[in-house]
C-alpha cells in the first residue's frame, strides 16, 4: 500500500548512498563531520560535490582552508559516525575526544581517518549556495583505497570491508553483494522483440476467438 511522505522525507527516498567523514584543518584546528549529501560531479576534471549547512563548524573550516578530505567509513565506525554528526566542533575538539587515529594526507593538511577503506583529498574548486546548504565543489587531487575492499569498484566480499551507507535519522546499512549486469547483445534484443511480438500475436488471436464466440452467442439469442 502506497503512503504519502513529507517533502522533507522525500530526500530519504534517495537514501542508501555512502556516508563520508569530511575532515578539515585551519590554523592548527582540526574538525570532522559526517556527510551524506555527497556526489561525483565531473570526470574531467574530477570534481566531487559536498553540501554542508552554514551552521556546521566544518562549513567555515572548508571555506577558509579551501580544502577538505573525505574518509569512507565501515560499520566498525557506525557509532562514531552518528556521534560526530550530533555534536559541534565549535564546542568540542571531536578528533581528540573520540581518539580516532588519523594520518597525514598526501597533498593537503586536512587529516585522514584510520579505520576507513577509502580516502579522497580535495581542493575547493568552487562553492554555490543551494537552498539552505553550500555546495562545495572539490577537485580531487589525491585518492587511495584499501585493496581488499576496492578494485575499480567496491568488492563487497566482506561486510566488514563494505562502505557504510546512510538511510536517514540514525539508521545505516551496508551493501551485501556486488551484482554484475549483462549488456544485451543484438541477438538477445531481437529474440526479446520476437518473443514480445509472438505474445502480442497470441493475445490478438485469443481476443479474436473470444469476439467470434460472443457474436455466435448473440446470434443464437436473437434467433
Instruction: Report pLDDT digits (tens) over 144-186.
Output: 999 999 999 999 999 999 999 999 999 999 999 999 988 877 7
Say yes or no: 130 and 88 in one domain. yes
pTM above 0.85, yes or no: no
Confidence label for 219 from pLDDT (cuts 50, 70 and 90): low
Say yes or no: 208 and 159 in one domain. no
> What is the mean pLDDT of the segment spanning 191-198?
64
Say yes or no: 63 and 155 in one domain. yes
Instruction: Report pLDDT digits (tens) over 28-73.
Output: 899 999 999 999 999 999 999 999 999 999 999 999 999 999 999 9
Phi, psi of 112 (to 5 degrees): -110, 145
Q: Which domain holds residue 204?
A: 182-223
pLDDT confidence of residue 204: 58
Say yes or no: 52 and 101 in one domain. yes
**138 part of a folded domain:** yes
35-40: Cβ within 8 A, 24+ apart:
36/166, 37/133, 38/70
pLDDT confidence of residue 23: 96
Instruction: Specify the CATH number for the domain of residue 161.
Output: 2.30.110.10
Say yes or no: 198 and 144 in one domain. no
Bridge partner residues of 137 (DSSP): 49, 126
Say yes or no: 52 and 130 in one domain. yes
Say yes or no: 42 and 78 in one domain. yes
**160 part of a folded domain:** yes
Say yes or no: 196 and 146 in one domain. no
**66 part of a folded domain:** yes
Distance of CA 135 to the CA centre of its chain: 16
- Span between the terminal Cα atoms of the chain, in Å: 50
Say yes or no: 57 and 167 in one domain. yes
**2 part of a folded domain:** no
Instruction: Report pLDDT digits (tens) over 82-137.
Output: 999 998 888 788 888 888 999 999 999 999 999 999 999 999 999 999 999 999 99
Domain count, the chain: 2
pLDDT confidence of residue 34: 96
Say yes or no: 74 and 154 in one domain. yes
Amino acid at each position: 500500500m502506497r503512503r504519502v511522505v513529507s517533502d522533507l522525507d522525500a530526500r530519504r527516498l534517495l537514501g542508501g548512498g555512502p556516508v563520508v567523514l569530511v575532515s578539515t584543518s585551519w590554523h592548527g584546528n582540526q574538525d570532522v563531520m559526517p556527510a551524506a549529501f555527497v556526489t561525483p560531479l565531473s570526470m574531467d576534471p574530477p570534481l566531487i560535490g559536498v553540501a554542508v549547512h552554514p551552521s556546521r563548524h566544518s562549513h567555515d573550516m572548508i571555506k577558509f582552508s579551501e580544502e577538505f578530505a573525505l574518509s569512507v567509513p565501515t560499520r566498525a565506525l557506525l557509532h562514531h559516525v552518528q556521534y560526530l554528526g550530533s555534536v559541534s566542533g565549535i564546542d568540542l575538539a571531536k578528533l581528540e575526544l573520540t581518539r580516532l587515529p588519523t594520518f597525514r594526507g598526501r597533498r593537503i593538511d586536512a587529516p585522514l581517518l584510520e579505520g576507513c577503506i577509502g580516502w579522497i583529498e580535495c581542493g575547493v574548486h568552487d562553492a554555490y549556495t543551494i537552498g539552505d546548504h553550500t555546495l562545495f565543489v572539490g577537485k580531487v587531487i589525491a585518492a587511495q583505497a584499501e585493496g581488499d575492499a576496492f578494485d575499480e569498484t567496491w568488492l563487497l566480499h566482506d561486510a566488514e570491508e563494505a562502505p557504510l551507507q546512510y538511510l536517514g535519522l540514525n539508521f545505516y546499512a551496508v551493501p551485501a553483494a556486488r551484482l554484475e549486469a549483462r549488456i544485451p547483445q543484438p541477438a538477445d534484443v531481437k529474440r526479446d522483440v520476437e518473443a514480445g511480438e509472438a505474445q502480442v500475436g497470441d493475445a490478438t488471436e485469443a481476443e479474436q476467438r473470444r469476439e467470434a464466440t460472443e457474436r455466435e452467442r448473440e446470434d443464437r439469442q436473437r434467433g
